[in-house]
Structure 1
Amino acid sequence: MPRLMQAERPAPADAAPLAHHIGQEVATGAHVTAVRFVSGAMAAALGDGTVRFWEPGLAEPDSIVAHAGAILAVAAHADAGTILTGGDDGLVCRVGLSGVHPVAETGGKWVDAVAAAPWGAIAWSAGKAVTVIRSDGTRREIDMVSTVQGLAFAPRGRSLAIAHYGGVTLADLRARPSADRLMAWMGSHVAVSFSPNGRHVVSAMNENVLHGWRIDDGADMRMSGYPSKPKSLSWSPGGAWLATSGADCAVLWPFGGKEGPMGKQATPIAFAQALVTAVSCHPVSDAVAVGYADGAVVFARRGDDAVIPVRAPDGDRVSDLGFDAGGHLFGYGTEGGRLGLLDLRGIGQ
């Protein structure tokens, strides 16, 4: 089984904090649930039910009220100008600068997870129930034996991964429910992600561990050694590496080749004195954005010790961060409600 590789810390000078923040930063007054990018703007979903759309060059983001409570789950929608949101008010919505477009109502049950596929399919969960709307508009209702914590569409559109207690179910979107597969592993699985090539599926557990499966034959792997729960997962371009949070560095697991990380060591980068809480791989390079529990944000690069400070630590835990599809824009959010936006073209990226 692969285990975390032990490594010496780089010289402290590599991670010296800045006295200021790069780019723009504003206070929103509410916990930032997630950060996504749509049509050249950052879309930040907040705990007060609003979505803040922020375009580069504008002093403040536009605010749209989407839910009557906290937004709990977010996915980028196939419609380039909108995101899919789920809230504790029981609503599933598609939200863009044009407004809020209700999709479904769960009867007051919290919407714990949402997913959206590039070809137009969407899914959400409320309690033990999962609803899928395929790209042709047909629906499938899936009843699970336990509460669903995470959803993810396979890159080729054949299945929906459903994370729950006892493993991950791969729901077949083309056939009868009898074709569904349970990738079993004892414990609570709280997030799930497919590798970009569709060969592996990886879940984050409610323990300090990840679990993965090779889909072709069901071979599984346990990725352990974390001091905290690795809740943030991000794939490098092409899926050669999986970056994760949960340690005092970003942990990169190798997924090149058929075996994935089985029998291999992980690569740690961007060591700090605080736990990593969020990671996001740059879409076209080896860079990884890393956010920490102390509020710091850095850009790091696999293969060397290069670290570029982006945000100074201030005690405000980073809750999410990410790049746009072209890697030109970068944004982050914190639990204390700070939003940051960087136009990387403006700083010579």
Structure 2
Amino acid sequence: MPDRPPFPGRPAQPPGPTYLQYSPNGQRLIVAGIGDFARSFRTNDNGEPDLLPSTHAETFAAVSGNDYVILGCEDGTVCEYAVPSGDLKQLLVRATLPVRDIALSPDEQWVAVSSDELEIKVINRNDIEQIAILRDHPKPIKHLSYDPSGKYLAASCTNGVIYIYDMTSEPTIYRTVDGVISRLETAESATSRCVWHPDGRAFACATATRDIQVISVGDGAHQRTFSGEHTGQITSLAWSPNGALLASSDSDCLVIWETKTQKMLKRFNYTDILNITWQNQSENIFNWTTSNGEVFIIPEFLKDEAHVKLLKGSKVGAPFFHDPLLDTAAAVNSRRPLVNGQAKRAATPDSLDELLGPEEEYDWIEDDDGAGYINGNGKRTNGHLGNGIGPLAKRNKPDAWQTQVHEPVQPGATPWKGNRKYLCLNLTGFVWTVDQDTHNTVTVEFYDRELYRDFHFTDPFLYDRACLNETGALFSAPAKDGQPAVIFYRPHETWTARSDSRVSLPDGEEAVCIALSSRYIVAVTNKNYVRVWTLFGTPVRIWRMKSSPAVTCAAWGDYVMTVGNGPVGADGCTQLMYSIDNVRQDESCQSEDVLALGTVAPESDEEETSLKALFWSDAGDPHIYDSNGVLLTLMHWRTMGQAKWVPLLDTRLLDRLKEGKKEETYWPVAVADNKFHCIILKGGDKSPYFPRPLLTEFDFNIPVCRPVEKSKDNEEDEGEESNAAVATRLKETYVRSSVLLGLLDDLVQGLGERASHSQKTEVMKRELDVDKILLQLLAVECREGEERGMKALEIVGLLKDRSGKMLEAAAKVAGRWGRTVLEDKIREVAERRQMGIEEE
């Protein structure tokens, strides 16, 4: 049986669709509908509302300022009226079909209008000549809504797709969200509107299953869901001003939800509700309109003291599965940054200030885990700053120097997006997990399903890291509910009844990063220990890293590479230091050497260059990929003090990115077959998401010199390359081939007598290939003329062949082009080499 509201409805419009919105200061509630007028109800005033009698058609949309209202009508006009006089101020725009929705930007400068036409018009209120037309959607738009910052405009299309436009400069599509809202015609009473949470990071929308889905705008991931209370199509949604409550309605009921828990707090069986809204200044006033043209204004709407406390309390963040800001706060709180080389600090600025921005902007963060980073008023405390003496100094960034510590990196893992993330992505397969609140579910899938079998299991330990290779899968889980942190290994093949192994770490110790080779399990922990076990859990080695806090690790065969934060550089950031150890022989190949990260790219938003991935290639050489998009390999790493980082590919210089035709970045996966394997990320994406992305491979291309652009004179001769272009290509090929030869030669020298015949043969083949490239480069120089003879002779001196065959071939190349002087010089070189005289 329907409930009766505590106060009777106030007549506002003739029966039919009725719309309402508060002015920004909360002093007026505008109600419009199918009458040729609108009404302005004054907050906390029971007198007669002000009448705006100038509309000339049915009103289908309304937005309000403090002293004006903008109405969109059935005749296609969008007009601005003064409040309370109702005088027409200006005609903003006219459409040929009925207007369906209007959105006013938070700065009240821009008005977005949708109609039954296939376009959105965005008009400047102060200069109606400034207008932008958005046409990226194929069907009419039913609803429009700006986010609280005005950066994004969400458009709910009748085709069931949400189009999110970036409005910061020239409006462009930021992302689309499909498969959430229903396909609704513009005149239907059900809603598909994106209702932005007050913190601006997510919006809620009604789904086809009559639930309410929260979507994070940054990655488009599905976050928490409010479900199970609506049996009819949802007609309206509204967040409370502080984001702590969500109200939703259908034709038979009104439901109040708690944002943090997604639980229903109160259900009212009120009927015929079309649109709802909270009073926007946190007063306990709730409002709705009905299909009878009535407006209900209910003061002291919430009766329960706990519910009122939620409404009037501190701000609450959007309901994420894994809130990135809370994760950042907890991470910084658990590991204090180093300042001037000291772990403890006093009277220094809070590291969260730079990570999270101004305190008042994020005072909605709640102390869910009891970590102590907020106080009872919702503000972050300074209790985690150490034993400060006296009050905190004023937060003045230029005066306070603070070290930037590199965060831990698990190779192949992605951050949480909604309730799922990849634990591992490589060429063997991928591991992903889904947060089910009480437990997780883990899925392991392989590319070669003839060789391996996919598997899936329920995960009560909440594994947060994983490794996958040809021998097995490795997982780690943090400590939980008094249970220790665990390391779990599962082999792909077994000949016993139970083959997996589980290792519990000591109390207070958790894995920061894990690695898996064909022989060993490796875990770097928060105590800076490197722990090494055999595949089935027998401890082999343990040592403490010299650089701390630990960042990452990777393993291949008998070798373990670890990376940690080292000394502080001149830029205030810690230098990353790496070590490579041979576990079987208990020897160090490299010890505490600098990981060569470059400087920040000019177009990058990052404050410093960071490490994105560390992995070993299929040939057993270490590689890193940094935030500038540069892939580097480590040469001569088997010899102490001789290692050097060599760039193999700068993805910013790829041909596909030239002329600004594509906006994309690359997620590193592996190096195999002398190629870089990655996942292409489009637009503003920072990590891969579901469904499973496809892998792309790029050939190495060492940035030796600037590529030669094709001249206009040669555009007609498409089949011919200029001498300069050929020389540039050959120079890069020579350097790249030399690097790959050096890596293989290091491997053969390191194996010694254990090197196979095929490996030794491959070294000789690659030496020959390098000399062939030099001969081609020699031919290019000879073609340029006699004046290039000295450079040509230098190239001859780079030939590795000592038998004289290559020098004879070089002399013939010079003779073919008539470079007789050069030919004589080459033959002199050949004679000196035969006599064992080295060139100076």
Q: TM-score range by the shorter chain?
A: 0.5 to 0.7
Q: Is 1:124 the counterpart of 2:79 in the alignment?
A: no
1:302 is matched with none
Q: Is 1:174 the counterpart of 2:168 in the alignment?
A: yes
Cα pair 2:20 2:289 within 8 Å, conserved: yes
Structure 2 residue identity aligned to 1:169: Y
1:48 is matched with 35
Cα pair 1:166 1:188 within 8 Å, conserved: yes
Larger displacement relative to structure 2 (50-59 or 22-31) = 22-31
Relative to total residues, which structure has the larger strand share, 1 or 2?
Answer: 1
Task: Please give the secondary structure, in 1, of the residue aligned with 2:193.
Answer: strand
Distance 1:89 1:24 in 2: 29
Query: Equivalences for 1:192-207 in 2 at 5 Å?
Result: 192-205=194-207
2:150 is matched with 157
Structure 1 residue identity aligned to 2:162: V
Q: Is 1:325 the counterpart of 2:257 in the alignment?
A: no
1:259 is matched with none
Distance 2:239 2:286 in 1: 16
Query: Equivalences for 1:222-261 in 2 at 5 Å?
Result: 224-225=227-228, 226-246=230-250, 248-252=253-257, 254=259, 256=260
329 and 219 in structure 1: CA distance in 2 versus 1, 3 angstrom threshold: closer
1:185 to 179, 183, 199: 179
Q: How many residues align?
A: 280
Larger displacement relative to structure 2 (197-206 or 227-236) = 197-206
Structure 1 residue identity aligned to 2:280: A
1:69 is matched with 57
Unaligned runs of 5+ in 2: 185-191, 301-307, 309-840
Q: CA deviation at 1:81?
A: 1.5
Task: Please give the secondary structure, in 2, of the residue aligned with 1:245.
Answer: strand
2:94 is matched with 106
Distance 2:134 2:70 in 1: 19
Q: Is 1:146 the counterpart of 2:139 in the alignment?
A: yes
Structure 2 residue identity aligned to 1:335: S
Structure 1 residue identity aligned to 2:292: G
Structure 2 residue identity aligned to 1:74: A
158 and 24 in structure 1: CA distance in 2 versus 1, 3 angstrom threshold: closer
Query: Equivalences for 1:87-98 in 2 at 5 Å?
Result: 87-95=73-81, 96-98=83-85
Distance 1:340 1:52 in 2: 13
Q: CA RMSD in A?
A: 3.4
Cα pair 1:74 1:86 within 8 Å, conserved: yes
Give the structure-1-normalised TM-score: 0.68
Q: CA deviation at 1:234?
A: 1.1
248 and 150 in structure 1: CA distance in 2 versus 1, 3 angstrom threshold: same
Q: CA deviation at 1:194?
A: 1.5
Query: Equivalences for 1:264-303 in 2 at 5 Å?
Result: 266-272=262-268, 274=269, 292-293=270-271
2:815 is matched with none
Cα pair 2:35 2:57 within 8 Å, conserved: yes
Cα pair 1:36 1:42 within 8 Å, conserved: yes
1:335 to 287, 291, 294: 291
Q: CA deviation at 1:76?
A: 2.4
Cα pair 1:106 1:126 within 8 Å, conserved: no
Cα pair 2:13 2:34 within 8 Å, conserved: no
Distance 2:39 2:46 in 1: 12
Q: CA deviation at 1:173?
A: 0.9
239 and 332 in structure 1: CA distance in 2 versus 1, 3 angstrom threshold: closer
Task: Please give the secondary structure, in 1, of the residue aligned with 2:242.
Answer: helix
Task: Please give the secondary structure, in 2, of the residue aligned with 1:198.
Answer: coil
65 and 89 in structure 1: CA distance in 2 versus 1, 3 angstrom threshold: farther
Distance 1:74 1:88 in 2: 12
Cα pair 1:191 1:203 within 8 Å, conserved: yes
Distance 2:276 2:210 in 1: 21
**Matched-pair identity in %:** 19
Distance 1:154 1:139 in 2: 20
The CA deviation string for residues 168-216 of structure 1, in whole angstroms up to 9 with x for no partner, is: 1111112445553212226426311221111112223466243432122
The CA deviation string for residues 23-69 of structure 1, in whole angstroms up to 9 with x for no partner, is: 88446544461223346333211211211123355643232234332
Distance 1:268 1:334 in 2: 22
1:36 is matched with 21
Task: Please give the secondary structure, in 2, of the residue aligned with 1:123.
Answer: strand
Distance 1:201 1:195 in 2: 5
1:303 is matched with none
1:260 is matched with none
Distance 2:279 2:227 in 1: 30
Distance 1:270 1:150 in 2: 27
Q: CA deviation at 1:332?
A: 4.3
**Larger CA Rg, structure 1 vs 2:** 2
Cα pair 1:320 1:334 within 8 Å, conserved: yes
Distance 2:207 2:123 in 1: 27
Distance 1:319 1:124 in 2: 21
Cα pair 1:119 1:135 within 8 Å, conserved: no
341 and 204 in structure 1: CA distance in 2 versus 1, 3 angstrom threshold: closer
Cα pair 1:149 1:163 within 8 Å, conserved: yes
Structure 1 residue identity aligned to 2:120: V
Distance 2:257 2:299 in 1: 26
Cα pair 2:105 2:111 within 8 Å, conserved: yes
Unaligned runs of 5+ in 1: 1-11, 257-264, 275-291, 294-316
Structure 2 residue identity aligned to 1:125: S
178 and 89 in structure 1: CA distance in 2 versus 1, 3 angstrom threshold: closer
1:86 is matched with 72
Q: CA deviation at 1:223?
A: 5.2
Distance 2:172 2:17 in 1: 39
Task: Please give the secondary structure, in 2, of the residue aligned with 1:170.
Answer: strand
Name the structure, 1 or 2, with higher relative contact order (CA <8 Å, separation 6+): 1
Distance 1:52 1:160 in 2: 27
Structure 1 residue identity aligned to 2:290: T
Distance 2:299 2:247 in 1: 23
Task: Please give the secondary structure, in 2, of the residue aligned with 1:132.
Answer: strand
Structure 1 residue identity aligned to 2:155: I
Q: CA deviation at 1:145?
A: 0.8
The CA deviation string for residues 76-109 of structure 1, in whole angstroms up to 9 with x for no partner, is: 23xx122222111111122322323343343431
208 and 131 in structure 1: CA distance in 2 versus 1, 3 angstrom threshold: same
